Structure 1
Amino acid sequence: MSSSFRAPPVPPFEISLIAVSEAVCKQKKFIALVTAAVGLIAVAYAFIATPEYQVSSVLRPAAINELDALNRSEIYALPPGEALTRVGAALESYETRLGFFRENQKLFKEFERPGRTLEQSFEEFNRNSISLSLPDPKKADILSSFIRIEMNYPKDVDGVTILNGFVNYAIATEREHIAADLNVIVKNRLNELNGKLKAARSSYDNDKEAKIVSLQESNNLRRAQLRDELKALRTQLKTERADRVAQLNEAIGIAKSLGIRKPTTPTSLGEADRVGTPTTMRTEVNNQQIPLYFMGSEALEAERSALQQRKSDDFTARRIGEIAKELQLLENNREVEILNSRQNEDVFLAGVQSLRAEAVRLQGLDIDMSRLKLVTIDKQALEPLNPIKPNRKLIIIFGLLFGLGLGVAIVALRSILSQQRAAVPVPVSLVNNSMV
């Protein structure tokens, strides 16, 4: 027996909201059970989840007088805004955070995990726990306003001590960097000043040496000139003495030929032949030089003998004594001796007073960096009153709402499925076949 079956077209299915509403009203207990179950799960999670707390600290620019000692040094300028920015950079620095982590490992025991290195444990802490809010560098009015640093941490971690310690550590680290920079700058400035003083000292030594050489050269030149003059003068005197002896020899010969033995005059010589003439005294005045032989042979021979026995003619010229005096004075140059006997030659350096004053100022520069206040801690981290995670009230409310929605959705879905099954017609042929 065979039969053919053709399914009639299924009419379009329409959901009856009234039926769904009635089903929801009838299944209140079921919805309440689902809501309670999900609510219990939310309550369990809210109380079982590890609480997470948050602390924060706010830094603001230091007062101008706090940085006055550093800025008055005239070698390192640090405005309050720049100091705040530098501290913020230190707080943001990976190296600074890792340094604090290494020096305070006892505070970070909760962040350590088996099989992880120290750096790996720090990486998790650094990535998830600390956040920094820096001012916008494009806005000058906000640049020096504040810096906020926040830290999230689990229940068993001393977050207040960690954050306050980290802030103080970053400030101390930046203070050490500034002190190191200051020392380097002062050292470089002193080296520069010492170099200038050394150059001035070298220039002075060169000038002094040149002056001494110049003085000695001048003395040697003058001494040589005086000796040459003395030699020429002595030669001249010797020549004059020889000429005088020759003149005397000639005059002696004439005087002997005239029979003049004693000094006489031309007039007296003319009247010597007159006999009986009474002795008279005459004064002779003329403008002509009397010949030398009128001195008489005796006087002329005496002078010639004296000239021939003379061993030196120095006493006859005054200039020889003057030359001897000058040569004696030139034996010792007192100016050269004084230049060579200087003990503290630095006092004679020219144009170095300002350099010395600056060097003394830099050497006496004493800035107590331990008391240098780079920033003002406007708000320190305080122990939080409540955790930020989990928010138990919100979780419980959300769980109850989710459970209620889930219960209503389940009931509504079951009602819709029941309506769909009821709306599908059963074929007659299937009923007849089942009867046969």
Structure 2
Amino acid sequence: MYRLLSDIRVVEGASFIAAPYCTLLLSQLGADVIRFDAIGGGPDYRRWPLGPGGDSFYWEGLNKGKKSVALNLAMPEGRELAIAIVTAEGKDGGIFVTNYPETGFLSHDSLCSVRPDLVTARILGHADGASAVDYTVNCAVGIPYMTGPEGDEHVPINHVLPAWDLLAGSTAAVSVLAAIEYRKCTGLGQHIRIPLSDVAAATLGTLGQIAEVAISGADRPKFGNSLYGAFGRDFGCADGKRVMIVALTSKQWKALIAALDLETPIRALEAELGISLESDEGARFLHRERIDAIVEQAVARYTLAALSQRFKSSGVCFGVYRTVQEALTDDPSFVESNPIFANVEHPSGCRYPTPGFPASFSSEARRNPYPAPALGQDTEEVLTTLLRVPSAALASLHDQGVIRLPDRLLSPS
């Protein structure tokens, strides 16, 4: 948690990953983030994984450090309050992140009629407004047909990481900061559209995968756990543990050969093939089956502990395959002694390691991450402070079902 963006106020009206992840990043950098929630929670409020009491660890993770205002958006009065929060005065405000539809009461044009300098960042599925989520975008751009065991070309394999959501959220955060700078110079707001499908397409294009298919006219086949275009694969140790070994550079390749004493068999293979594996990264991939057999036999002679010692002393690039549970218990640097984590108690009543912003800044000390809000816990503060709603009117709004206040505010004095 930092205070680098303490001079900006961001309003979030969103659910699921991409938009909440955008505002989470801004919040962890110090922005004051106010999210308006449906009374009783939005569509992701109980999304798995769940805690013992049924609370969503997913929701707590994405919304830590934010303020929550509970509104009944089905009522005109609730929608009016949401608009008022988004367009509230102040040079620090007028920043809205959402995945609501482009039309309706939260359209950019409608909001701009109240606050002309508004910056709206809107996450969409597709650029034409059609619905999509991470998994439906991922299946449409070809990644599942490049993933999985070699030979199963017609069996798509989904991944568990919502990569396009996370990249879209990061893109949105960068875009918001750019729009803020533009507004400082020009006084103008703008509507930023971030379609998940465009984020995915741009990423494949940036990594050369679109050019590869456009020029060759053929899709990339599956290569299992082999690293495409270089040397890298999983190998089994004598004790059944598995490691991922990678040699992208000549230095990494030489370190691997030295650590496993493979100078003789590798030199013989190079002589047979008439190539230099040290200087040609692509050759290591083309001849991976021959290389893999040599490395596999060598790795199988060592336990994981013995192999790790040899690899570390030689500078080999490798990683150990672990479950999340094993990562938590076996490697203190992953969470236990990692300064980005702190044990925080959340509204679920559970205390668990909670990450802050993953980058560090030399100009400012890291603060512990804040917990997620209880649903609607900041309704009173936001309405009375930001919108100057008289305290006497809060209970009336609650009784009408427009807002939800904490029980302490509803007790007789």
TM-score category by the smaller chain?
under 0.3
- Larger relative contact order (CA 8 Å, sep ≥ 6): 1
Relative to its length, the structure with more helix (as a share) is 1
**TM-score, length-scaled by structure 1:** 0.19
**TM-score, length-scaled by structure 2:** 0.20
Relative to its length, the structure with more strand (as a share) is 2
Structure with bigger gyration radius? 1
